[in-house]
Chains A and B, each alone.
Chain A
Amino acid sequence: MLRLYLLAGAGGLLAVGLLLFGLSHSNYVGNVGIAPAQPVPFSHKHHSGELGIDCRNCHQQVEALATAGLPPTHTCMTCHSEIWAGSPMLAPVRDSLANNEPLHWTRVNRLPDYAYFNHSIHVTKGVGCSSCHGAMNEEQLTYAAQSFKMEFCLSCHRAPENFVRPQNEIWNMQWKPPADQATVGAALVKDYHIAGPERLSDCSICHR
């Protein structure tokens, strides 16, 4: 009888474990692919995909600072002073400029406060936008393409040669590793002076 209880207990533990693992890796819990409501239904697909506006037109700081930056309303209005100037959908943008009050976007990508991420080092050392953000130029409304679990970061920090791109491919949302990524990647890691995996997977690289 005791054996039966132990067996049931162990089985239950395993089942709960599997359930929790599945749940914690699910898109629902990871908030992946879910576009939160925003003050303006901004479309990356339209601006980046269809109009071909460079990422850096709005995210200007991405090459220099830790944060990629959100455009000030002044940047939006550079075009929208004339384009869709009377659209009710863009009223919050016009109000923001008129009242000198920032637009309050809902954050889409969030890292834990104990992880220190820096955009500039990544985009200047061969990691393209789409490696973490997915094909932004196809996102009608903005959602996270990754849940940014530690294992996601480590998959690259342990083997950067599988992911690094040449500098002219950083902004290419459709980039896929070429067939000869093994050789190209290794050469790029050298060119970019990227440290070896033992250094890149040090705790203190991301946690300070």
Chain B
Amino acid sequence: MRPRLVLLLLPLLAVAACKRQDMYTQDRSQTWDRNAFFANGTSMRHPVAGTVARVAPNPPAAAPATIDAALLARGQERFGIFCTPCHGRAGNGEGMIVQRGFTHPPSFVEGKLRQAKTQVFYDAITNGYGAMYSFADRLSPADRWAVIAYIRALQLSQNADVASLPAEDRAQLEASARQEAAK
């Protein structure tokens, strides 16, 4: 009888198979991993002090020769991601973070920034300005120009005369105004 009792222990074998495979964690460093080998504990490294880049990592780009719909769409998207928290969707400086107490940025769409040279915006994005940090790590030179093109579009649209709109756009605007009023 005794050997047959062993059969009852068989299910335990299944548990023995549960050890996580060794390959789950492999002996290599990945982005974002902890790494005890380095003093600051991360596997991502900065270039060693004194490193000279063969090619500048983020060379300045010249302003685009033509501004097309694709450039404006890219600018609108990047503006939405990085600028609206403070500058607001309309570029008037009434963003959500400003409503929470951050320094009120000057409006893009009225006052002296309407006349400001394009380079002023480019430099502010690149180096920061006043309370605004540099966005050089967040907006590539090409994206900076796209954002500036979109700021110019906001400056135009926020000050546009309704009469200057094509009939189709005017009808759409008036319809949405009626809808708002009805609410």
Contact = CB atoms under 8 A, between A and B. Distances in A.
B8 interface: yes
B31 interface: yes
B107 interface: no
A82 B4 contact: no
A82 B32 contact: no
Given A9-B10, A15-B11, A74-B133, A60 B138 contact: yes
B129 to A, nearest CB: 13
A67 B138 CA distance: 16
B81 A83 contact: no
A57 B133 contact: no
Contacts of A101: 40
A104 B38 CA distance: 14
B164 interface: no
Interface in A51-86: 51-54, 56-57, 60, 66-67, 70, 72, 74-75, 77-79, 81-83
A44 to B, nearest CB: 15
Contact of A51 (B1, B7, B96, B131): B96
B97 interface: yes
Given A1-B1, A52-B96, A53-B85, A8 B14 contact: no
A79 B41 CA distance: 27
Contact of A114 (B24, B41, B103, B132): B24
Contacts of B133: 74, 77-78, 81
B28 interface: yes
Interface string B8-42: 10111011001000011110101110100000111
B80 A102 contact: no
A81 B23 contact: no
Nearest to A54: B81
Contacts of B11: 9, 12-13, 15-16
B100 interface: yes
B49 to A, nearest CB: 12
A57 B84 CA distance: 10
Interface of B: 1, 4-5, 7-8, 10-12, 14-15, 18, 23-26, 28, 30-32, 34, 40-42, 80-82, 85, 96-97, 100-103, 131-133, 137-138
26 contacts: A5-B7, A6-B7, A12-B10, A12-B11, A13-B10, A15-B11, A16-B12, A16-B14, A20-B15, A51-B85, A51-B97, A54-B81, A67-B31, A74-B133, A74-B137, A78-B132, A78-B133, A82-B102, A82-B131, A83-B97, A83-B100, A83-B101, A83-B102, A104-B42, A112-B23, A114-B23
Given A16-B15, A83-B101, 11 more contacts: A1-B1, A5-B7, A12-B10, A51-B85, A51-B97, A70-B32, A78-B132, A78-B133, A101-B40, A104-B42, A107-B32
